[in-house]
Chain A
Amino acid sequence: MYDPTVARLTYRALLGRRRALILGALPLLLIVIAVVVRALTGADDQTAVNVLGGFALATMVPIIGVIAGTGAIGPEIDDGSVVYLLSKPLKRPTIILTKLIVAIAVTMVFSAVPTLIAGLILNGNGQQIAVAYTVAALVASIAYAALFLLLGTVSRHAVVFGLVYALVWEALFGSLVPGARTLSIQQWSLAVAHKVAGGDLVTSDVGLPTATVLLVLVTVLATWYAGQKLRALTLAGEE
């Protein structure tokens, strides 16, 4: 179910040229902010939670997930070169699964690793905060990558819809309507982080069992449906 050639092509499409720049700029910014905050305020648990929760997990991870998830398949469908891939004797679910693994790996490397580094800079992993948010970023990477990869196969405007979900649904509605938080990957991953950190610093609106079930469900369903979409893909022209 994993094809090294497809994986290599996807890596090159994702990290080629300018894409790698924007993917690398975001984590760099997070680390710079962490250094500045540490220099300004010293080690403080609440500050670390604010930066990691408010900036890393709420903003950075979804955006990197959108870029990696949709970028793994979107441009290929867009310029029509996906037909060369589809005409090879590979199962469509295999293609999707390979691309998903690559997207997850890229999202994890560019979001979880800097989160860990930023956490260590901010308060030296006091109260397990750095590790908790790293685990949350890892878990969120899987779900975001699967969801946005599905969007990439469903719509030609996948990036817009992905951003609308990440910014409008999770950030705006999540802060206004408490119910919207139950259906948010960010909150599910925070539930996992809550379990790791243990204390009251990292909180989530969703219980751990619900969060785990929903995370697995979303990932599996999105991957399965993306494979189904790829089996009956229609190529359309520009607009």
Chain B
Amino acid sequence: MAVEQPMSAPVTRPGDQTRIHNIGYRTYDGPRLGRAYARRSLYSQSLRGAYGLGRSVKSKVLPMLLFVVMCVPAAIMVAVAVATKAKDLPVDYTRYAIIMQGVISLYVASQAPQSVSRDLRFKTVPLYFSRPIETADYVRAKYAALASAMFVLTAAPLLVLYVGALLAKLDFADQTKGFAQGLVSVALLSLLFAGIGLVIAAVTPRRGFGIAAVIAVLVISYGAVSTLQAIADAQNNTGAIPWIGLFSPVTLIDGVQTAFLGATSAAPGAVGPGTGEGVVYVLVLLGLIAVAYGLLLRRYKKVGL
């Protein structure tokens, strides 16, 4: 607005009055925080966002509720173990996540679209890439943030169990070993679930649809696999049970921890993979994580333009 121009003066020769004022804009020549800082910020913001921190009250409700729902059964188990002076916890560290898989699935289904779909829906992704970060930085930050959030969700109840077990004066070495095995297992689970959730959410920007798609993949595959396993068990075809288990994320984790992390399989008849089949399980698991990362990179190569 040309406020400086006196209103009373009649504009007779507009050509003479146009000129460029130097009003003192200066370029920034201080230190720049760079790519690593931007990546770190994106990571921490995404991680906070996964629990609704820094967002509206409404969006805090669901993740916090799911977190509480994850931890309450662990607290109850500890209370029971302390009160009854049990020799062992009622549930193995490695089994806890398998029991609570519904809650974990809901969490990843609600938070993965929250993390990536909104950027795609409102077409803000190119704005990220106008900063000094690359496609790989964005993908890595988002992946790491969701995996960390899921690790917090799945490891917190294990910590409750562990602290409770120590307070109940259960065997220290035994409990520590179980706790460590449980942590490795939920770390793998977090990486796998976060990868699957992000890939699906990144191709379904519409609200609600991403959630349904993630849940459908996780729950339907588990439902299909456990139905087939139950039938194989009923037919005494126990050799087939471990191989069927390869086809759903939850049973995949279950197989890996049965083979290498001293867990008892949750499959019907407690038939888990042996060491040989376990190697296949680990390869499939790592392959899936790598494929998820690769697909995300490919997706963002396209939408980042």
Chain A interface residues (CB < 8 Å from chain B) = 18-19, 22, 26, 29, 33, 36-37, 40-41, 46-47, 50-51, 54-55, 58-60, 63, 66-67, 70-71, 74-75, 78, 156-160, 163-164, 167-168, 171-172, 238-239
Contacts and interface: CB of A to CB of B under 8 A. Distances in A.
Contacts of A47: 231, 234
B146 to A, nearest CB: 17
A163 B207 contact: no
A13 B62 CA distance: 27
Nearest to A25: B216
Contact of B235 (A18, A41, A74, A157): A41
Contacts of A67: 209, 212
Interface in B32-57: 55-56
A59 B219 contact: yes
A50 B235 CA distance: 13
Contact of A40 (B56, B215, B235): B235
Number of chain B interface residues as a range: 35 or more
B61 to A, nearest CB: 9
Contacts, number: 98
B102 interface: yes
A37 B230 CA distance: 11
B135 interface: no
B223 A58 contact: yes
B211 interface: yes
Interface string B191-215: 0000000000001101111011101
B220 A60 contact: yes
A60 B228 CA distance: 15
B231 A40 contact: yes
A170 to B, nearest CB: 11
B224 A55 contact: yes
Q: Which of B118, B228, B231, B232 has the most CB of A within 10 A?
A: B231
Contacts of B223: 54-55, 58-59
B55 A33 contact: no
28 contacts: A18-B204, A22-B216, A26-B220, A29-B220, A29-B224, A33-B224, A33-B228, A37-B228, A37-B231, A40-B231, A40-B237, A51-B231, A54-B230, A63-B215, A63-B216, A63-B219, A66-B212, A70-B208, A74-B207, A75-B207, A75-B208, A156-B207, A158-B208, A160-B106, A163-B211, A167-B215, A168-B102, A239-B55
A159 B208 contact: yes
Given A40-B237, A58-B223, A164-B106, A19 B209 contact: yes
B106 A159 contact: no
A137 to B, nearest CB: 15
